[in-house]
Every structure is written in C-alpha cells, then in structure tokens.
Amino acid sequence: MALSSKMEKALNDQINAEFYSAYLYLAMSCQAQDLKLKGIANWFNIQYQEEIAHAMGLLKYVQDRGGRVTLSAIDGPRTQWENAVEMFKNTCEHEAIVTGLINNLVALATKEKDYAAIQFLNWYVNEQVEEEATADEILGELQLAQNSPGAMFMLDRELGARTFVAPTIG
C-alpha cells in the first residue's frame, strides 16, 4: 500500500523536524565546548548523530513506501545558553515537542488506517520515551551538581563516555 498524500507530507515534515533537532543539538555541542564542558559537548554531539539517524530512518521509510522525499529549509536553532542546566532544560522542552509530533504522526496513521506506518512509528514512540527520560535525568543531575565543581567535573566526565551506536529503526 502506498502512502497517502497526507501521510507523505506529515512524514516529510517530521524528516525536517529531525534534521532541525540534529542542528539544535550540534549548536548545543558547540556551546558546551565553548563552556569547556567537553563531556557535555560529546553527549550533544552523539545526540546530533542520533537525530540524523532518526531523519534518515524516516527518509528511507518514505522511499520504501513509494513516497517522494521533499526536503525543506531548516530554521536556524538557538545558539547560546547560559550554562549546561539551561541547555538541558531546553533539551527537555524540545523532546516534549518532538514527542507531540510523533504522537500526531501515529494519530494520522491511525486515521488513515495505515497499519504499516503505525508499526514503523512505534519505534519512534518508544524512542521518545527514552529521549525524554534521559534528558530529564541528566537535567536533575546537573541541577544537583551545578554548585559543586567536583560534582560537575564528574558528571561532565561521565557524559563524555557516551558513544554513538547507530539505532536499528523500524
């Protein structure tokens, strides 16, 4: 079954949103580097790579379903944050928005009776649960550590150990 025109457009919009997310996290990585928080910079760089993978997973799905991928301009993200706590507050807010976008895609797929899309999008639904929980956990740890240079050093070091593992989407 081919994608409906509504589903194709919605998936293309989500591809663009995922590339925007990547761009946002790359900006955060650069800001963290400027703040001499190399571990946090690494964490956001890995997040950037994951968002690119998410976009590419959607792109491949649209193509596999016989749809046409139409890329559009990506808005420039915010580029300055006062500190790591502010970055992760923004991350939590952003991931909640992305969760809403994914939920809207599932709702549209349900309305369209596109069961293949529902099945495919379930991976993204589960991924968003993990994304929100991780960002919230790190935010909490940063809030506890922000007045303790030693604790901030250890947390930055811990976040620096994160490595990219390409997700298996769908």
DSSP type of residue 132 = H
Q: How far apart are CA 60 and CA 127, in angstroms?
A: 18
Q: How far apart are CA 63 and CA 86, in angstroms?
A: 38
Q: CA 24 to CA 4: how far, in whole Å? A: 30
Query: Which residue has 């490595």 as its token pair?
Result: 163
Measured CA to CA in angstroms, residue 21 lies from 3, 54, 158 at distances of: 25, 10, 23
Neighbours of 49 (CB within 10 A): 18
Alpha carbon 150 to chain centroid, angstroms:
29
Reported confidence tier of residue 1, pLDDT bands at 50, 70, 90:
confident
Taking all residues of the chain, what is their mean pLDDT, rounded to a whole number? 97
DSSP 8-state symbol, 82: S
Dump pLDDT digits (tens) for 7-25. Answer: 999 999 999 999 999 999 9
Q: Is the pLDDT of residue 170 over 80?
A: no
Whole-angstrom distance, CA of residue 8 vs CA of residue 70: 9
pLDDT of residue 28: 98
Which tens digit of pLDDT belongs to each residue from 129-149? 999 999 999 999 999 999 999
